[in-house]
Every structure is written in C-alpha cells, then in structure tokens.
Amino acid sequence: GQSQTVRCRGQVQTQRNTLTYRKEVTEMGMTPYPYMKANIDIILNGKAVVDFKNLCVMITEQDDNSPYPVDLPANVLANIVKAVPVVALAAPVVASAAEELDERGINPFKFPERPLMRVMTDYNSPKEKGVTPILHFEAPQVAGQNRVPNQAPFTPWHMFEFATGNISNCFGPDFDVYKGRIPPRTPCGDLQVVTQVVEVKGNRLELEKPSSCIAEYYVPEDAWYFTKNSHDNWMPYSLIMEIALQPNGFISGYMGTTLKYPEKDLFFRNLDGSGTLLKQIDLRGKTIVNKSVLVSTAIAGGAIIQSFTFDLFVKGERGDDELFYTGKAVFGYFSADSLTNQLGMDKGNTTNPWFVDNNTPKSDIEVFDLTNKALPFFSAPANKPYYKLAGGQMNFVDTVSIVEGGGKAGVAYVLGERTIDATDWFFRYHFHQDPVMPGSLGVEAIIELMQTYALKNDLGAQFTNPRFIAPLTKVDWKYRGQITPVNKQMSLDVHITEVVTESGEVRLIGDANLSKDGLRIYEVKNIVLSIVEA
C-alpha cells in the first residue's frame, strides 16, 4: 500500500563497467510483520543513473489459500533449513504479541484464552470489489487449547482460521479443495462473535439427518458495540442476531455442505429468519451459549438450502443457563452468478419511496442530514444521557426523510438513505474476500430510522431519563438480495403502524423494507422499538 518514486537520470549502454547499488534504510519495524523502507541509488562512474525513493519490503507468512503459493523444492528447502543457525533471543528483544495494539488501537490478545481478532490492513493482497482485506493472524497459543483440525473443541485458533486463514486448519484436509480459492467463511474482525465451539454432533456429508453444535461467545465488557451505542449496557439487536446466526454457518461448514459440489465456488447467504427476545439482560462480560441445530438440507439446481434453529443462553456459574433469545433461520449456498442476478422481493422491478408514489408535497417532507453530527439527535441533554442516536460504527444512515401522517397506516413514513462505499467498515469483516453487508446491520439501520423518528417527536418526554431498548417481541426478516461494494445506494423505509404509550413504556411498531439501487431486497415485519426509563 506504499507509493514509490523512480527517477532515471542517465542510461547504461553496453560496456564493461561496474554498477554500484547504495541503500539508505529510512525505516524498519515489526508491525504488522517485519518490514523495511529504503532509498536506493544505482551508480555508474560516480553518477546516480537511477534512484528509488521509499522502496519497501515485508516478510509475511505464506497464505495457504493464495492462488500463487511460494513452494521451494524439497532439496533446496532442506539445505536452507540446515544452514540457518539456531539463535536464542533474549526475552526483551521481541515484544509479546499479547501486548501489541492493532490498528483500532485495542489489544485484541489481552485475554489470550478468549482473544479478539487482530485487525491490520493487508496492503499486499488484491482488493475484492474495491475492499482491502485484513491480514490473517493466528490466535495466541494457550496451554491446553486444542489445535487439531476437525476436532472439538474448536478453539479461537480454529475460528480465526475459518474466518481469514486456511479453512483446512479448522475443518481438516477434506477442505484442501479450496486451496487458492475463496472458501466459505465466518465473519472476521469486529463482526466475529464466536469464541469457540465446544460440541458438535453429526457425521460429515450425512445431510439427510439433523446435526448440531454448541458455541460460546465471551462478550467483552468494553466491546465496540457497547461503547458506540446510545447506552453502554445495551447490546444492539444486530449483534444478538449475529451471535445467533454465526454458529449456523459453523455447523453447515463442519458437515461439509459445499463438498457436495467441490468444483463450485458457493457463497453462504441468509434468506429468512425470525428471532424472539425473551429477556432483557446486560450481557457485558457474560458468556453466551448458542445451541444451533441444522434441521434440514435441500439440494437442487446447484443451490443448497438449509434450515436451522437456535437458542441463546446466558451461561450461569452453577450451570443454570438462562434462555434469552430463540428463533429459526434459512440459509442458502449460491454461485456468484446467481447472487449477481437476484431479482429481489418484486420480481426484478424497482420501487419508489412512498411519498414519490403518493405525490406528497415537498413541504410535507422533513429531511435530516445524519452525517452532520452536530444535530441534537447525537447530543443528549446532560440529564438524559441515553436519549440520543448511537455513534461511530453504529451509524448506518446518511439522510432521513419523515412524512407525518404518511405511510400505509397513516401514522408516519420514514425513509433513510446511505451512499455505499467500498471503504464502509463492515465490508472487510463480512466476509473475508467476499464482501457483503450483513443483513443484521440492515435491520440495525431500520432501528436507527425508528430512533430518529422518536427523537424528532420527543416520544420519550414522559420519562425522567429515557433510553431505547429492544422489547420482548418477535422479529421476522426476509432477504432476497445483498448489498455489495459495487452498489451505489442503500435506501430503507419504515411505515410506522402504531405508537403505543403506556405508563412505563412507549412502543413504536412498524413494517420495514430495504433496497439497493431501487431494488427492494429486505422485508422486516412488525419490528418494535421501546423507550423506557433508564
């Protein structure tokens, strides 16, 4: 990712002479890998005929999934190994990886037994649809933690390999067919929310029978999604969805689903789902246990459709796990061509915002620019510190348009729009080398719209210290398309169908849609947002 300057100041003609190379090292370092920067002059007869500025070199691990692996002949490799002396380094020379900060400014290996993924940009790998991937780092070694492929428990080492490394290190040599290809992945970086899988039941390729896994996620007390949220003890609904759904992908991978078509590159996508929140729990510092079941598999026409159930528990100290979220989901594996040519929810027809189809006067449409963080929506009063929109990575909408008395129920219509950019933070995390916006974040964007409407109308006025929270309700979602870095715009709308005001709670209820470049691809029914006393 570094630029170099090359200047030719003369020519070297055929002759008997000596070229002298003079190197000036300008920078050296060890993060993310050993590297060096230098200026180099090529000198002939005392004159620099060519000079290079900021020439760079880095030593990295060979990527087993690279389409151009570097393989030395065995005899050459053996001679190199014999020639390398064994040197014992003094402890202070190399800083412990557990003490290093990544480019987010956090120490992901602070707790080696339950590490987060280290995030450093991989400038040496090609971009995928304009997205620069992150480097692969192994999980730190912990005494007693399993590192045997395809054997439970699947520790952070396996999960990191599944996310960005060699998938065969996670699931075994059956997956060597993906060497040099893009394999199925689990999310990485900030969106990787499975710490380990402690149990699996099922035999590979026996897809006619149900199979299952038990996964655990150790929730950091200071996770980004807490610190960026409007209240730091509220896990966003999108993260609960991710914690629920990611083990579905794990058990599907473990069972070797894509090995039914080993010659094809297939991509894993969520199609439908529903989740019911049963209890509101402060999840900071807790261990979430996910019991996921692969219920059924249907294979037809090169596509694979699978149904799952999931149950999320908070792990108790005495084994008294507490169920707080339950649901089901349908996923599919599809070819790149079929994903590119998806027709959305309306047989390929594009749709307009409600106020366009209904010729709403511009004077009836209130527009708010959420890229302007000086708006009062982002700065809560001192006595109401949680009565605001989330910030940072939890912002998904650029502009919001509101029509009071609009929408299909005549209560309100809210439209949000976002310009899609390949540098959007979520693309490099979901998935590695297969960038697509998570459907869960689309649902989170819909919640952001509802929060904006609530703040605009001060629907929490009855409370001394109001806050937003996900109520104990069921949410149904349906996806028939994806947002990738090549799309230009995401638009989403909510038809507010009801505002229910009670003594201890205000509820907003709505039906929502999400579109890419005018094509409606998501539908979320009966989504509810609550305002309560903090």
Query: How far is residue 333's CA from residue 10's CA, in Å, rounded to a whole number?
Result: 58
Query: How far is residue 269's CA from residue 336's CA, in Å, rounded to a whole number?
Result: 11
Would you say how long the chain is, in residues? 534
Instruction: Tell me the two tokens of residue 216.
Output: 């655990």
Distance of CA 450 to the CA centre of its chain: 23
Query: How far is residue 174's CA from residue 250's CA, in Å, rounded to a whole number?
Result: 15
Three-state DSSP class for 171?
helix
Three-state DSSP class for 167?
helix
Query: How far is residue 69's CA from residue 306's CA, in Å, rounded to a whole number?
Result: 34
Whether 510 and 409 have beta carbons less than 8 Å apart is answered as no
Residues 136, 158, 231, 430: which is the catalytic one?
430
For the question of residue 495 being annotated catalytic, the response is no
Query: How far is residue 476's CA from residue 524's CA, in Å, rounded to a whole number?
Result: 6
Whether 149 and 158 have beta carbons less than 8 Å apart is answered as yes
Element housing 355 (H / E): helix 354-357
DSSP assignments along 108-157, one per residue? TTSSTTSPPPP--B-TTSPPBTTB--BPP-PPPP-TT----TT-SSB-HH
Query: How far is residue 192's CA from residue 481's CA, in Å, rounded to a whole number?
Result: 22
Residues with active-site annotation: 430
